[in-house]
Amino acid sequence: MDQISNMIIMMKNASTAGLPTTAFPYSKMKHAIADCLKKEGYIAGISKKMRKSVPVLEVELVYVNGVPKIHDVERISKQSRRVYMGASEIRPIKNNFGLLVLSTPKGILSGKDAKKELVGGEALFKIW
87 φ/ψ sector (left φ>0, alpha ψ -120 to 50, else beta) = alpha
What is the model's pLDDT at position 95?
92
pTM greater than 0.85 (yes/no): yes
Q: Where are the alpha helices (DSSP H) in 1-128?
A: 3-17, 28-39, 111-117
pLDDT of residue 37 exceeding 90, the answer is yes
pLDDT band, very low/low/confident/very high, at 1 (cuts 50, 70, 90): confident
What order do you get walking across the sheet with 21-25 strand by strand? 21-25, 54-61, 43-51
Q: How far is CA 118 from CA 13, 86, 112, in A?
A: 33, 8, 10
> 91-123, pLDDT tens digit by residue?
999 998 999 999 999 999 999 999 999 999 999
pLDDT of residue 19 exceeding 90, the answer is yes
What is the model's pLDDT at position 71?
94
For the chain, the average pLDDT equals 96
Closest C-alpha among 61, 128, 64, 67 to residue 93 = 128
What is the model's pLDDT at position 127?
97
Domains and CATH numbers, the chain: 3-127 (3.30.1490.10)
> 67-88, pLDDT tens digit by residue?
999 999 999 999 999 999 999 9
